Amino acid sequence: MTSFWLFLSKVFKWSFGFYDALGNVLNWLLFIVCCVLFIYWCYVLVVTLGGNKDKEYYSPTEGKNPYYDPKIYKREG
């Protein structure tokens, strides 16, 4: 019976090492994805909207989704 518990403890040690390694890989993947998104965000801010180009920017949704629509929000009373 003791050998079973020793085997079980080795399995638990291995599984915790596996989860530790998997967490490390997952952390690096998320870090790389976040860095790529940040670099893309900086690119959009500098290249697309930089140098007063934001005045020429056309938003395809401008005016279509207003924050306050009087047709929806009517004052009753």
Tokens 């005016």 belong to which residue?
63
Whole-angstrom distance, CA of residue 22 vs CA of residue 17: 9
* pTM summary value: 0.52
Could you report the per-residue pLDDT of 41-56, keeping only the tens digit for each? 998 888 877 777 767 7
- Poorest-confidence range of 27-31, 35-39, 43-47, 58-62? 58-62
- Joined together, the tokens standing for residue 60 give 């395809």
Whole-angstrom distance, CA of residue 25 vs CA of residue 44: 29
The residues, ordered by sequence, that sit 6+ positions from 57 with a Cβ below 8 Å of its Cβ are: 48, 49
